[in-house]
Amino acid sequence: MSTDVEVRARAAKSPRAIAEMFGDIAPRYDLANSLLSAGLHHSWRCAAAADLVAASRRAGEGAPRRWLDVCGGTADFALADLRAAGPGAGVVCTDFSAPMLRVAKDKLRRRDPAGRIDLAQADALRLPFRPGALDALTIAFGIRNVADPRRALGEFARVLRPGGWCGVLEFGLPVLPAARALYGLYFNRVLPRLGGSIARGRRGNAYAYFRDSVHTFPCGDAFAEFMRTAGFGPVSATPFLFGIVWWYLGRRR
């Protein structure tokens, strides 16, 4: 039987609801993320992108050249991908939300003057790339917002070449009981109110949705198994900050 949290999360996860919610909070999305994570979301993205490049180099392939960042929002992960990959690489950043991409466009005028990051509006379930077109794909804090995460992972496998890399950064729940209890107090009582105040969205449920979606989304080995089933392997699952965030890395079989 579904819990009330699961019912709320499913109801808020329709494509239209997700597009409206993120469009609504787009102008203050970066500020909210920085304040609510104490700026750590930048270090998580940088560490993840660097780990993907290091894994590729250990495999004897050098840094990937053709990157895609899905659900890229305001392009923070795309910028981290570009820094990690170094000269010669290019990144396409896609997102479902046009307002998010407008914020990203303004940011990239300052942060990517060479134009190595391209922006495109696209659905994670229907990516506009031919099979095997890409060397690496990343997604940060977006897979749990997709209507069908398993199908999205299958789509990621489709657009990656055999041996290409898929990296997923996503929220989870702490693995240590004490850390989980402390995080629960902040997560359930403080974050929805503080996040709603910062984002100043017309829909005050954005961060309540965030809370519910994290509680109901699989993390750790459970999500790693999703990736294996979709065609990636081996898949590693690395907790950041006691498991508040997880980094999953797999290679297209």
Q: What is the pLDDT of residue 48?
A: 98
Q: What is the mean pLDDT of residues 31-43?
A: 86
Q: What is the pLDDT of residue 175?
A: 84
As given in the structure block, the two tokens for residue 94 are 């896609």
pLDDT per residue over 95-110, tens digit each?
999 999 999 999 999 9
Q: What is the pLDDT of residue 195?
A: 63
Q: What is the mean pLDDT of the chain?
A: 90
CATH number of the CATH domain containing 79: 3.40.50.150
> Structurally, how many domains does the chain consist of?
1
Return the closest-CA partner of residue 118 out of 137, 105, 131: 105
Q: Which residues constitute the domain of residue 58?
A: 4-252
Q: Across the beta sheet with 232-240, what order do the strands follow?
A: 117-121, 90-95, 66-70, 134-140, 160-171, 245-252, 232-240
Q: What is the mean pLDDT of residues 217-221?
A: 96
Q: What is the pLDDT of residue 1?
A: 43
Return the closest-CA partner of residue 73 out of 8, 134, 138, 164: 138
pLDDT per residue over 108-122, tens digit each?
999 999 999 999 999
pLDDT per residue over 172-185, tens digit each?
988 888 888 888 88
Cβ atoms of residues 108 and 119 within 8 Å: yes
pLDDT over 90, % of the chain: 68
| Residues constituting the chain | 253
